[in-house]
A and B are shown apart, each in its own frame.
Chain A
Amino acid sequence: ELKVEQNPLFLSMQEGKNYTIYCNYSTTSDRLYWYRQDPGKSLESLFVLLSNGAVKQEGRLMASLDTKARLSTLHITAAVHDLSATYFCAFTMEYGNKLVFGAGTILRVKS
């Protein structure tokens, strides 16, 4: 069974600071997704990582995937208030189609 551990679950950051959200998963998977969710809203796709060593960046967010360590990270650079949201990582099983989500990280960026 695929399990996903996401941490921290809550992150309060000052504007301008850097931080990293971690996702560990328990079995073979080489497809990793990061989503953003604002309160009461749907999920917005941020990144899709499909291979070991993949790194993608969009603005102040950078995601990476290490399939050997079974770890993905979402790095936030110089946080701004607009980044406040809940961030989820999700994996698909090697031979399946359903997404398995982490518990989510609630990010609050303070001025």
Chain B
Amino acid sequence: NAGVMQNPRHLVRRRGQEARLRCSPMKGHSHVYWYRQLPEEGLKFMVYLQKENIIDESGMPKERFSAEFPKEGPSILRIQQVVRGDSAAYFCASSSTASNYGYTFGSGTRLTVV
């Protein structure tokens, strides 16, 4: 079991470019969560998805950010027209049910906007 796989591990983008972050959940997990961690801070919830559905996007910025979890393939967090303030570590977690029993985190993608 490879765990939660995130790629890329590090991503550098110039201001105004697009960033695409990928997350493949653990085998058997159908619930995916994205969190953002700014330097020296805790993790902030962004969005919760199940296959083909966004369940809770209350933590997503209203503009430039979007997420999807298609029927086939990984979950994608997309940031359009990146700005320096988007520089952060983005973590994906997955779980097997909606029971809150356990979450497994990926290694994260560290986005740097230059």
Query: Across the interface, do B31 and A101 meet the contact criterion of CB distance under 8 Å?
Result: no
Q: Which B residues are CB-close (under 8 A) to A97?
A: 31, 33, 48, 55-56, 95, 98, 100
**Which A residues touch B91, using CB under 8 A?**
42-43
User: Which of chain B's residues 15-49 have a Cβ closer than 8 Å to chain A?
Assistant: 31, 33, 35, 41-45, 48
What residues of A have a CB within 8 angstroms of the CB of B33 in the complex? 97-99
Let me know if A99 and B56 touch, CB within 8 A: no
* A43 to B91 Cα, complex, angstroms: 9
A31 near B100: Cβ-Cβ < 8 Å: yes
Chain A interface size, under 10 / 10 to 19 / 20 to 34 / 35 or more: 20 to 34
- Whether the pair B48, A43 counts as a contact (CB closer than 8 A) is no
**B43 interface neighbour in A45, A50, A88, Cβ under 8 Å:** A88
Identify B42's interface contact among A33, A40, A48, A101, CB under 8 A.
A101
What separation, in Å, do the CA atoms of A3 and B91 have in the docked complex?
Answer: 20
User: Nearest 8 pairs between A and B by C-beta?
Assistant: A101-B42, A98-B45, A92-B100, A43-B105, A42-B107, A101-B43, A103-B42, A42-B105
List 12 A–B pairs whose Cβ atoms lie within 8 Å, in order of A's numbering: A6-B42, A42-B106, A42-B108, A45-B105, A48-B101, A48-B102, A88-B43, A99-B33, A99-B35, A100-B45, A101-B35, A101-B42
Q: Give the interface of A toward B (CB within 8 A).
A: 6, 31, 33, 35, 40-43, 45, 48, 50, 88, 90, 92, 96-104
Q: Interface residues, chain B, CB within 8 Å of chain A?
A: 31, 33, 35, 41-45, 48, 55-56, 58-59, 91, 93, 95, 98, 100-108, 110
Give me 9 other A-B pairs in contact (C-beta within 8 A), A43-B105, A97-B56, A101-B44 excluded.
A42-B106, A42-B107, A45-B103, A50-B101, A88-B42, A90-B43, A98-B33, A101-B35, A104-B42
